[in-house]
Structure formats: structure tokens, C-alpha cells
Structure 1
């Protein structure tokens, strides 16, 4: 028979939770003690009452508890990977309250014992009422993003190359800026490909693609492998929406600008632009969120194609990514029309015209510079752009010689580096 017991303390009235009190002073109001019956065993779960007075509780199912055991028999101490199949049997034989450890201990039918501290249970609560979970390490320091336009972006974020290479605080400053504003300049960088490689190594592994881990172009003439690898104008875009997972970061480093004129750069805050469209033309915003756009690119020995929504929302309806590249975009097709018709509950003629109107409106805002920061990239200056948030563009090279190198990082790699640095600072 399953039992729920309390261990160690002779005082059966209250369990003082110092660790929990430290947490709740920041996150959970007025929960500093637990009565001995505040950890209740249910048929398939336990119920932890953080505060009965405030009806503050969390429920933890036995299947989940067994799956979550972090002891060294269940998880590798270095990599935190499972060492056994925790789905085989999650039948508890006893549940005990450990006063001295401020924890709940569960013994399973196979004899294994798992201990869960109140602090850990609170931080990992998933089924609860009136509970404010503390932020995980690093997450509490990653703040909200800042939307900007051409009027408010007067002091663009920047770091010094040598500082970023030798000081984690400077690297953190750069990654924070990319998260908050969408981009950051790196000043006084050596004018070599190797300097960019070294800087990228500070963030994490490079994203490999058809172009390799890095790319290089000389803007002296149009090249056959990509129209942007030339001297012509490049419209505002995100890099490589044609791939299943577009790059998370785009790096650009100018290596030469000799007897040259033109090739000015522009960075556009697409999240700010999207917010503007949502406010002033919600129907266009709906279409850009719900209608997928076909993309395709052809190389000599490879072809890539995919469908992408221009604006991607998460489950809470928050904008998480943008995707637009005019040169690789195919005309809207039957699936696009079906999605637009469904989104607007209208006929096919109206749906197709309004979807193209939405794309046209988006392009007009991009060309207006309302949400843009314009600059002239020159040798010794790098720029790193959040490719899931920013559009970037380049004016035509009117004359002279210009060479540029670049590379990409996956989103999860640069966000992992940011989170790890935040947790240690």
C-alpha cells in the first residue's frame, strides 16, 4: 500500500523552508512555511501546497517525477543525459517528506529512490495555481527586446574587437545587444578573413550550408552562383529562408573598399515593422502570419525549396521570426491561395489580391527607411545581425572595388552562448 510519510523532524506542525523562503522573497509572495500535510499523495500524483491560505499549489504526476529524477544513476553527471529507461515503470511504493532536506522522496517499485527539493519542484512546476516560478539560471537576465525605428536608433550598439576576443563581459555585451536590438557592430577588427573566423569561434560552431561555413565575394561583377555576390543593389531580405532552418546570425566583414563609391548598408527592424503593420493594417498582418510563401533556389549541382510564413508566431501568438527574400521567392501558388482564402474567409479573387497587397505593403515599408538604420560598412568594422529579426540590404556599388566575407551561426548556438554567459555573470 502506498504511504505518504514525514521524516526526521519531531515537530509535526511546520516545516521551515529556508531555501524556498529565499526564492519566494523574489517570486512567490508570502510562502515561507509548509504544514506537514501540505505534501499530499493522490492516486497518480502528489500535491504540494505552497500556501493554503493563498490557494497556491503545484501538482506533480508520478510518471513525470520518475522521468525527472536527476540522480547519478538516472542521469549522467556531466551531460545530464538519461542513463536508463525511465518510462518502463513509474509505480511508487512510498512518498516521504524530508524535513531536513526540504524535499520530497519517492521510492519506486524497483527499489530506486528519487529526491526532489522544494526549490527544484517550484522552479519546474508545470501544473499549478497561483504560483510564480523563479527564472532558470540566465533566463532572468535576458530581458525584453527593444523595438526601434530610424528616429530612435541614434546610438547603435557596438563593441571593440580586442575586448570581445579577450573578455567574456564584452562578448556578453555583444550578444545582449543582438538579442535586444537585433544587431551589433564590432569595431577595430583586423582586416582579414581569419579575424572574423576567430570572432565567430567565440560564439560557437558555424552553420554549414551549400555555401560552406564561410563565404567570400568581390563586388566587381555579377557572379553566376548568386546574384547578391556582385555589385548590384540587394533588396532588404533575410538570409536563406529557402533552407529548413535559416541562419540565426549573419556576420559581414568588409575586407576592401578601394577607390569605391556606393554599397551603403541598411538594417531594418522587422519586428518593429511587423508591430506597425499589426496596428495599422491587421488584415495584412494576419495574411503575413498565416499564408506560406514558396521559395526555391537552383545551383549547378543542387536545388532547395520550402514554404515559409513571412511572420512566424509561437503558441502564444508572439512574433518569433521573420522570413523574406525577394530573389528566391516564387509566385504565390494554389496552397498560398487556399490559406489566404481561409484566413480572410473570402473568395479566391479577393484573397489573392489582398495577399499580394500585403507583400507589396511590406516592401513599401522596407523601402521607406522608416524602420531602418543606414550605415557605410568599411574595412575594420564587422556587423552581426539577428537573421530571425532583422532585414538587411545593400546599395549598388557605383564604382571601385569591394570585397566582403561572411558566415552564419544557428540560432540555438548563439542563444545557448548568451544563456550560459548570463548564468555565470
Structure 2
């Protein structure tokens, strides 16, 4: 066994940076509905989610082993710089979709980055196609549909059971249920997503000869990955929280409870089976299902369509960025340095762009905080019957104009 080299150290740090972005990018998965319905205050919600993300990181290593010994064949000549390039592609895609407020999949960004970099540096023999189909593509297609159907049925059942109950008592009960189910989703997210970074770091250690092939993640890897994702979660991805909490549908407490419970069940089951599922797709599907399950509710299909487009683009887009980074990193030390500098510059530019329209815990529940803007010259009115919303748009009146010449004005 060899000692950790500088390059492997850089890969480990970059993996933990990705884990941090994964945390704040996916905070919405657990807490968007809880925050939007007022069950928890925003800062309290993300703090609770962070603690449970950290706890969940210690529950299993099945998904980590899927990544470190399943998707990428480390024996085909995969080097640490390839993993570094893959992580760069994943981080940049995560930040771009965060800037746009789109809840895309951090998991698929990571997979796309690793696959793209490996294809360029090693070739097709470095990628296990069967594992990609069985462990990534099929779950990606099935998970949001299954979660959405489960959430829709649970929402309808919840409203039917509670239709004759006292509204004040049920509101209190659903608030407690939302908090409990949000905690379960946070625990599931830590169990599933923190393992992905564990798997990447373990893969880097295997390719560098630090640990034996097919090894479980070392304890220090589990601890560091859990802390990184928990810290990112505590920062709070407010732009995406706004989209999921307010942009897809107007969520009431019974819907939030049903959506979160269904999502947590799907995620925990997939983690147990070793499926590296996208928690974002599961939770987004659950939120849309809850909108379909409540009579009279409105699902904003325009926002849902943009999310679906981001899901489809994530694997190839992250893969393309990672492939370019791998070509540059393969040139040696100067290439790796260039990739790092360019990545830092891109991250700084995205951060600067986000400050033009900031969204944080103070305005995350405000209408229009991060959602679509209405076209200029249009007034939006809302008629809200029981359980639903009907929007109508009315052209705004033309602005009054005045002349600069007082004589003309008096005439």
C-alpha cells in the first residue's frame, strides 16, 4: 500500500467540495415543503436536516460500494486525475442548476462527470455499461414516477381520512407529521447521497494503491463525507427550496406530509438495495404527486418541464465538462493546475451572478422570490376557491405620459 500523494489529496478535497454542494443543492429535498407550509422556520429546518444528514451517513455503505466498485472499473487504468476531472464537471453543473433554482440531480451530475472523464481518458472499457443501466438509468426513469404515484395516492387518502376531523386538531397533527417525515427524508438523504462521496474517495484511494480493491470506505472517509454534506445542508440551498416549495404547486400540510413520507420510503428502500437513486428526482416527483392528489390543486407544468429538461441534460452536460477537464488534466501537473484555476474562476462567476437576485431564509417563502417573473405589462390576479387556485392575466393599462412643455400641458 502507498501513502496518499498530493494528487490524491487534491481529489479528496475536491470530492468533499462536491459533497458540500450536494448538501446545499439538495436541502430542498427534505425541507422545501416543511418550510413552505410554515411547519418549521427556515433556519431551524436546515439545522435539523444537517444533523440528520450526518447521522444518515453512518447507516450504510451499499451505495458507496456501487460507485467505488460498480460503475467505474478501476482496474482499466483509471487514474486520480480522471476522478478529479469528473468531480469538476459535477460541481460546476450543481452550481449552474443551483443558480437557476432548478432541483436537478447531484447524483447524476457525479455519475455523468465520472463517466465522461473515464470515456476520454481510458475508453469504453473503463465504464461498466450494465451497472449504469441497472443502477442509474432504470432507477432514474422509475423513481420519480413511483414516488409521484405513491404521493398522489397518499395525499388523496390523507384528505379523505381527515375530511370530517377538527381543522385545528388536524393542522397541529399534520405539522408534527411533516416535521417527522422531513426528518426521515433528511436521514435517507444522508444515507444515500453522502455515500456517493464516500464511494468516489474510496475509488481514488484504490486507484492510488492506498487501499485494496473492493474495500469498504475507511472510517475517516465516512466521517468526513458526513460532515461535508451536513455543513452544505446547514448553509441552505434557498433558491432550490423556493422552487420546490412554491414553484411546483401550492402545498398544504397534508400534502407535505404525504409527499415526504412517500419520498423517504422510496429512498431508504433504494439505499438498502444499493441503488444510487437521485433523491432530487424522488422528492420532486413526490411534490408533483401531492399536487395531483389534492382536488383543485394546480401543478405548474412549466416549472416541471424545465426540471425534467435539467434531469435529461445532467448526465451528458456534466460528462461533457468533465471530458474537457480530463483532456486538460491528462497533460500533467500544469494541466491539473489549469483545470483547478478555471474551475475556481467559474465558481466565483456563478457566485457573483447569484448575488444579483439573492434568495435566503428571509425571503424564501415570498411569491416571486425565485420563481418565474410574469411578463412585463401583465397583472396577475388569483381566485382561490377551496382547495385550488385559478390564475387570470389581464393586460396592464398603458402608463400615463406627460409632456415636458407646460404650455402644451395647459392647452
Normalising by structure 2, report the TM-score: 0.23
Greater percentage in helix: 2
